[in-house]
Amino acid sequence: MPVIAVESGERFGQVQDILIDPQERRIAIVRVRRGGPFRGDVSDVPFSDLHGIGRDAVMVPSSQVLRPAIATTEHLRRIDDLVGSRVVTERGEAAGTVDDAEIDPQTGMHLLIAPPSISGLLGRRRTVSIDQVRTIGRDTVVLAAPPSERTQEARTANAAEAASDQ
Ordered per-residue pLDDT tens for the chain, 166 residues? 899 999 999 998 999 999 999 888 888 999 999 876 666 789 999 999 999 888 899 999 998 999 988 877 788 988 888 899 999 999 999 999 999 988 876 667 889 999 986 654 566 889 998 889 999 998 899 999 876 554 455 455 555 565 556 6
Q: Are residues 8 and 66 in the same domain?
A: yes
In a domain, 127, yes or no: yes
Rounded CA-CA distance 84/97 in Å is 6
Taking CB atoms within 8 Å and a gap of at least 24, the contacts of 20-24 are 20/76, 20/77, 20/78, 20/79, 20/82, 20/109, 20/136, 21/75, 21/76, 22/76, 22/77, 22/135, 22/136, 22/137, 23/75
* φ, ψ (nearest 5 deg) of residue 75: -85, -5
Rounded CA-CA distance 133/13 in Å is 31
CATH number at residue 87: 2.30.30.240
In a domain, 161, yes or no: no
Query: Domain range spanning residue 128?
Result: 83-148
In a domain, 162, yes or no: no
Residue 150: predicted pLDDT: 47
CATH number at residue 15: 2.30.30
Asked if 143 and 131 count as a contact pair (C-beta separation under 8 A), the reply is no
Q: Are residues 8 and 65 in the same domain?
A: yes
Asked if 113 and 95 count as a contact pair (C-beta separation under 8 A), the reply is yes
